[in-house]
Amino acid sequence: MKKGLNASQIKLIAIIAMTIDHVTWAFFPGTDPTWYVVVLHIIGRLTAPLMWFFIAEGCHYTRDIRKYAGRLLLFAVISHFAYNFAFGISFVPFSNGSIFNQTSVLWSLTLAVIAIAVFRSEKFPKPLKFPVILLMSILGFPSDWSSIAVMCPLALYNNRGNKKRQAFDIVLWTFIYAAVYFIFLDKLYGVLQMFTFLTIPIIALYNGERGGRKHAISAEGTALPAAKPSPLVKWSFYIYYPAHLVVIGIIRLALHGDVPLIFS
């Protein structure tokens, strides 16, 4: 086993950080400037860049990128209702007069996979690549993390193997998102978005191993090639994401009634 952190360990960090952030929203609606609430939201900034990073990794390793995109799309649809229920947002996009935070980040991540598939395809007509990628970015705009969750995974994929450039990608795209949030939605939360840079040392520790797999041991005591991950490991995040959002929604209703938790 290599030194550092494997994919399963880093994904667990992302899940824990995401849960902390979402639970904080449930107990402290809006952007509460209390120091410990701010700290909890800073922890939550670890999640999105780690998700983007593993979308890029997933596109590199997947045997069938169309199935990968289809799997994400399925859970994007499921998570739309879970996300909107969790945060008190109408299930019908744009019905509240806003164009922000209309659905979960899984929608943009699905579009990111499509954009990467187009970008890397040798068969796709080159003159159409930029317009299609731009379209994916526009379609992702209304979701959580907006078009950034389309473009940053694409940039991370393009710079795969160069962690310094990937670190720059995270800072650059987050800055764009933070600026939009700062100007149009919430100044304090816009500043908080920049704490995504805390993911850079975590990604630097990534050792390229999947994790979540047991190695068989030969009679000589050496490790044999690992088996494929169990279905539980493979599907754990997909299942956990909408499931925990439903719990957040129940907490929201119990504590505050049917009121929104975030700006949308």
Write out pLDDT tens, residues 85-97.
Answer: 999 999 999 988 8
Examine the pLDDT at 31 and tell me if it is beyond 90.
Answer: no
pTM, to two decimals = 0.90
- In this prediction, residue 228 has a pLDDT band, given cuts at 50, 70 and 90, of low
Q: Domain for residue 263, yes or no?
A: no
The residue range of the domain holding 116 is 7-89+100-212+226-256
- In this prediction, residue 215 has a pLDDT band, given cuts at 50, 70 and 90, of very low
Q: Domain for residue 184, yes or no?
A: yes
Examine the pLDDT at 133 and tell me if it is beyond 70.
Answer: yes
- In this prediction, residue 220 has a pLDDT band, given cuts at 50, 70 and 90, of very low
Report how far residue 85's alpha carbon sits from residue 257's, in angstroms, rounded to the nearest whole number: 12
On the 0-12 / 13-18 / 19+ scale of CB atoms within 10 A, 139 is middle
Q: Domain for residue 109, yes or no?
A: yes
Q: Domain for residue 113, yes or no?
A: yes
At residue 217, what are phi and psi to the nearest 5 degrees? Answer: -115, 130
On whether the CB atoms of residues 69 and 110 are closer than 8 A, the answer is yes
Note the pLDDT of residue 217: 39
Q: Domain for residue 72, yes or no?
A: yes
- Distant-in-sequence, close-in-space partners of 160: CB < 8 Å, separation ≥ 6: 56, 57, 60, 166
Q: Domain for residue 206, yes or no?
A: yes
Number of domains in the chain: 1
Examine the pLDDT at 127 and tell me if it is beyond 50.
Answer: yes
